[in-house]
Amino acid sequence: MLGAPGVGKGTQGRRLAAMHGCSLISTGEILREAAARGTPLGLEARRQMDSGRLVDDDVMIGLVRERTLEPDARDGFVLDGFPRTVPQAVALDAMLAERGQRIEVVLYLEASEDELVRRLQGRRECPVCKRAYNPEGTPARDGSHCDDHPAVELRLRQDDSEEAVRQRFAEFRAKTAPLVDYYTVTGRLRPVTGMGTVDGVFETLRRETGFGSRTPQTN
């Protein structure tokens, strides 16, 4: 899943992974969990994340190399938030080729920056399952607790402050947008509108990933 902050990579990636019966690997989520546990990697990453800057390529490549070797990733995975730079994309292709795997499709979600800023300002997420909500478009049933964990209060994400969001967009434009060319040249890019309802966007994504031998579940 490729796209700017707030475009719906996590929201849609979660649904796609469930539909294809594979794991969702979100590098942002992995870093936030490491930070919450207070590991050295997590604490260092927290500084970068909270200011809206990308974490170093070497750290991210090592992290994804290990994560994609775990048993739940053996039959495929949806990557959310990785790669985010050309060196990460090159390293990913090389590491998967060594294993006889490859990235089949790159879903490039697009939406206007005004819409994305609105979404990020309103985002609240469940600290347990990490599902994201928004009063406009994706509200929780009771407004402040997770639908799937009714005892758990939704919370803000630390990097959704105005300043960090501005920096995240700048990082996206400078370092991640060049991946559009990288994946276009190799014939894997599928641009998809991220505007519209969550169900509407998902329907388009579902069509774009209707590949391979796995029979998608229908729910």
Site string for ligand AP5, 138-157 (x = CB under 6 A): x-------------------
Q: How many CB atoms lie within 10 A of CB 138?
A: 17
CA distance linking residue 125 with residue 156, whole number of Å: 6
Amino acid residing at 14: R
Rule CB under 6 A: say whether 82 interacts with ligand AP5.
yes
Sequence-separated (6 or more) residues with CB below 8 Å from residue 111: 3, 4, 6, 7, 8, 193, 194, 195
Instruction: Name the active-site residue from 14, 15, 84, 131.
Output: 84
CA distance linking residue 130 with residue 85, whole number of Å: 24
Q: Which of residues 138-197 bind Mg ion (CB under 5 A)?
A: none
The residue among 200 and 212 lying less far from ligand AP5, judged by its C-beta, is 200
Rule CB under 6 A: say whether 182 interacts with ligand AP5.
no
The three-class DSSP label of residue 106 is: strand
From the list 32, 151, 171, 14, the residue with the least C-alpha distance to 78 is 14
Give the residue, chosen from 15, 28, 179, 182, that forms a contact with ligand AP5 under the rule CB under 6 A.
Answer: 28
Is 46 catalytic? The answer is no
Rule CB under 6 A: say whether 5 interacts with ligand AP5.
yes
Residue whose CB is nearest to ligand AP5 in the complex, by number: 28
Shortest Å distance, C-beta 166 to ligand AP5: 12
Rule CB under 5 A: say whether 10 interacts with Mg ion.
yes
Catalytic residues: 9, 84, 123, 157, 168
